[in-house]
Amino acid sequence: MSLTVEGLSYSYGAKRALDDLSLEAVPGRFTALLGPNGAGKSTLFGLLTRLFTAPVGRIVIAGQDMGQAPRAALARMGIVFQSQTLDLDLTVRQNLVYFAALHGLSGRAARLRIDAALERLAMRERAGEKARALNGGHRRRAEIARALIHDPAVLLLDEPTVGLDAQARAAITDHVHDLASDGMTVLWATHLTDEVRREDDLLLLHRGRLLASGRASALTEGEALQDWFLARTGEPA
């Protein structure tokens, strides 16, 4: 139940954002998509989530081809967007109920899944609070819980720790590593090297191309990831 991208290209007018990109993220692994700002991460996420479509290339989510069966592919995917997408005037539970309904879940089935997702992210006691009352870290956890309600095979996270303090960042990173350990396919886009562990799978994206892919420890060969990253992208992380 992996995520596969084959020969994906995308341009904004004359500017090429993704250039013949192929990559894979597999179940049970935390795959970090590392790249500096402007590398094409958000464009890739837009295409993976079908906010827009590419004329060239193929995306397969848990065996479902995004071009041929977009709804089946989207149904197998949980998404955490870079920008905050909770309705701040609603409670955490109301936000999750809304999302569950968008995935065709209602009533008792939805309630059970929402409780399980909140429990998994240690957010159950916050269910009745307005999203506005939560701090940034808890809002993110609520969004991750929301992305898990429909039991997706693949979880996509687009720079989910943007704007969070160090403690919240570490907590979110730990939670998502745990999800990968439980067998989920996780693709985590970031430009922060300290979110990547040595045992993670690493995809290095730069100027729309994949510069390197493999186990982080094998790629860096003992070098600090930050230095390795800078040496290849020539830009500060």
Q: Is 99 in the site for another protein (CB under 8 A)?
A: yes
Report, in Å, the least distance between residue 9 CB and another protein.
13
**Site pattern 110..139 for another protein (x: CB under 8 A):** x-----------------------------
Q: Is 90 in the site for another protein (CB under 8 A)?
A: yes
Report, in Å, the least distance between residue 124 CB and another protein.
21
Segment contacting another protein (CB under 8 A): 40-48, 196-204, 211-219, 224-232? 40-48
Based on CB atoms, which residue is closest to another protein, 74 or 123?
74
Q: Is 22 in the site for another protein (CB under 8 A)?
A: no
Q: Is 163 in the site for another protein (CB under 8 A)?
A: no
Report, in Å, the least distance between residue 159 CB and another protein.
9
Segment contacting another protein (CB under 8 A): 99-107, 170-178, 215-223, 228-236? 99-107
Q: How far is residue 57's CA from residue 227's CA, in Å, rounded to a whole number?
A: 32
Binding residues (CB under 8 A) for another protein: these are 12, 17, 37-38, 40-43, 45-46, 49-53, 55, 71-72, 74-75, 77, 79, 81-87, 89-90, 94, 97-106, 110
